[in-house]
Chains A and B, each alone.
Chain A
Amino acid sequence: GENVEQHPSTLSVQEGDSAVIKCTYSDSASNYFPWYKQELGKGPQLIIDIRSNVGEKKDQRIAVTLNKTAKHFSLHITETQPEDSAVYFCAAGDSGAGSYQLTFGKGTKLSVIP
């Protein structure tokens, strides 16, 4: 089965700086890679996703890059703000399998220091 590794487990940045979270996956059949933000006591919120036919995707201050050859993908947050503080999860899935299941990384706790 799929295995997703996520690093770092914790990350502290100064407000305004950039934050980068990296994930690797093991199953070459995986073709869908979403990122979720989870605030304390709440369900995960989808913030951006990328599919294997695209190398990079950007949405305002958030971007995701995918390297299929190396089987890794990264989340980039620029101009961080205190409200970006949360736990971020990467995930990988194979939409071609028809099961829609995702395998999640263990999460990164991001703290943005004002």
Chain B
Amino acid sequence: GAVVSQHPSRVICKSGTSVKIECRSLDFQATTMFWYRQFPKKSLMLMATSNEGSKATYEQGVEKDKFLINHASLTLSTLTVTSAHPEDSSFYICSVPTGFTDTQYFGPGTRLTVL
């Protein structure tokens, strides 16, 4: 299956700062990547679909100006949490669907803590 990495694995920041999370597909070129958010002991909530060469598609209720997504290349998507606040603290995970087979492979996740 596809190998997906995320960086950083964990980040602690002060309220009001912006944080960038990278998702890389190491062995598969992905025109689409997904970004999920997961609260403790909860399921995965799809935030947005990252599209290479075009704007991201956001799920209902997700602020696109708050969570900026850039799909810079076929192997890299970034999620920037702008003006982060404590309620943005969460586990953020990206996934890569492997095209024709539609199987999704997840990254290891990024733990964001906003103080």
Query: Chain A interface (Cβ within 8 Å of chain B)?
Result: 32, 34, 36, 41-46, 49, 89, 93, 95, 99-102, 104-107
When distances are taken between beta carbons in the complex, the residues of chain B under 8 Å from A41 are: 109, 111
When distances are taken between beta carbons in the complex, the residues of chain B under 8 Å from A36 are: 106
CB distance from A7 to the nearest CB of B (A): 13
Given A42-B109, A46-B104: A105 and B97 interface contact (C-beta under 8 Å): no
- The count of residues in chain B whose C-beta lies closer than 8 Å to any C-beta of chain A is 21
When distances are taken between beta carbons in the complex, the residues of chain B under 8 Å from A99 are: 49
A–B pairs, 21, beta carbons within 8 Å: A32-B102, A41-B109, A41-B111, A42-B109, A43-B4, A43-B6, A43-B107, A43-B108, A43-B109, A44-B93, A46-B1, A46-B103, A89-B43, A89-B44, A93-B102, A100-B32, A101-B49, A102-B46, A102-B104, A104-B44, A106-B43
Q: Which residue of A lies closest to B46 (CB)?
A: A101
Judge whether B32 and A104 touch: CB under 8 Å. Answer: no
Tell yes or no: B28 within 8 A of A by CB. Answer: no
Query: Chain B interface (Cβ within 8 Å of chain A)?
Result: 1, 4, 6, 32, 34, 42-44, 46, 49, 93, 97, 102-109, 111
Cα separation A99 to B106 with both chains bound (whole Å) = 16
When distances are taken between beta carbons in the complex, the residues of chain A under 8 Å from B32 are: 100
8 shortest A-B CB distances, which residue pairs? A100-B97, A43-B106, A95-B102, A43-B109, A43-B108, A106-B43, A44-B106, A100-B102
Given A101-B34, A101-B49: A43 and B43 interface contact (C-beta under 8 Å): no
CB distance from B52 to the nearest CB of A (A): 14
Cα separation A107 to B49 with both chains bound (whole Å) = 22
Q: Which residue of B lies closest to A98 (CB)?
A: B102
Judge whether A106 and B104 touch: CB under 8 Å. Answer: no
